[in-house]
Structure 1
């Protein structure tokens, strides 16, 4: 109804994630209109399963 769909990436041992995997999850909305175009990436910045680590700002800027 809202045209919203989520996709997840695997968290690595240090709390970061593979940026190539993230890029592969980005949808451009074509040629199939049934897949909504990616407009927002949300990152949970503290990972309780990884000891409450906070992602480094340099990683988030990358």
Structure 2
């Protein structure tokens, strides 16, 4: 699974590529992105396909 880094006037946005629904590169995206605590103006978007759970080991590939 891959992620896209986009720099905009609203900050830097890390969004999942090829998600089930396109993301807006804003802090107001439908996925409710979270601003990184250590890097202000960096927004981590949440995927609709749940790929974060696989990457953290919370969910295993069956």
TM-score tier, shorter chain, comes to under 0.3
Q: Which has the higher strand share?
A: 2
Considering only CA atoms, is the larger Rg found in Structure 1 or Structure 2? 1
Q: Which has the higher helix share?
A: 1
TM-score, length-scaled by structure 2:
0.22
